[in-house]
């Protein structure tokens, strides 16, 4: 995955964007503007759009930190990392050499989700410190700052959970591969098993999306739902 837009270098790792990320950034911003407008229409257009754009940029930073954590762990374990590229489906760190042991693979895989969970809880704690209450304002923060923090808190936790799905090459798939590698001592076998599990997960998720896209009456008519 080649980056068309260069962002600079952090810890010796080149950061870049693929053009497809711009589409996702636009969609995220539009979605946030719609959500903030629906929940707090009294803010006005300027405040809503400013909050949506700033929140989208902070989410962009959170994704970079997720991927950068993978890269930092890889470098600490002696693996060279050339670049990180953000694209439509997230981000990818270009690591120039495969892990030499299961422990390295495990810590590289789990580092990103740990960072995302940490960011998520820090955002929610900051929101709580500023007066947000999950009991009474879970989906309707009363100020732009709280709205941004709460959304970033939940979305980063969701990002971590999604990445822990055991579908190779998601982080969860790499963690599964590392565990099987550690148990069997055979990296090729671990890779094959993790890849098969990833294929099963992909089919399962696509099947769920397929059936959920049909009207209830159609599924009942085919006997697929009662």
* DSSP per position, 153-197: HHHHHHHHHHHTSS-TTSHHHHHHHHHHHHHHS-HHHHHHHHHHH
Residue among 42, 67, 105, 216 flagged as catalytic: 67
CA distance 2 to 52: 28
Whether residue 112 contacts residue 66, with contact meaning beta carbons closer than 8 Å, is answered with yes
Q: Radius of gyration (Cα) for the chain, nearest Å?
A: 20
DSSP β-ladder status, 5-10 and 13-17: antiparallel
Q: Is 67 a catalytic site residue? A: yes
Residue 157 CA to residue 148 CA, distance in Å, equals 14
Residues annotated as catalytic are: 67
């Amino acid at each position: 995955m080649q980056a068309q837009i260069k962002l600079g270098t952090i810890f010796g790792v080149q950061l870049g964007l693929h053009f497809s990320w711009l589409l996702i950034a636009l969609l995220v911003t539009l979605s946030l503007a719609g959500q903030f407008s629906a929940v707090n229409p009294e803010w006005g257009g300027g405040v809503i759009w400013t909050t949506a754009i700033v929140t989208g940029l902070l989410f962009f930073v959170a994704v970079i930190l997720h991927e950068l954590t993978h890269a930092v762990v890889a470098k600490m374990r002696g693996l060279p990392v050339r670049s990180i590229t953000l694209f439509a489906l997230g981000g990818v760190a270009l690591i120039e050499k495969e892990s030499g042991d299961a422990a390295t693979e495990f810590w590289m895989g789990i580092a990103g989700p740990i960072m995302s969970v940490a960011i998520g809880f820090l955002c929610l704690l900051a929101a709580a410190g500023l007066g947000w209450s999950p009991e009474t304002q879970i989906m309707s923060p009363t100020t732009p700052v709280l709205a941004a923090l709460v959304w970033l808190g939940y979305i980063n936790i969701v990002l971590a959970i999604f990445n822990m799905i055991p579908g190779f090459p998601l982080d969860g798939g790499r963690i599964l591969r590392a565990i099987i590698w550690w148990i069997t001592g055979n990296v090729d076998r671990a890779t094959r098993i993790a890849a098969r599990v990833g294929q099963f997960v992909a089919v399962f998720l696509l099947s769920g999306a397929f059936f959920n896209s049909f009207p209830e009456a159609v599924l009942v008519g085919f006997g697929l739902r009662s």
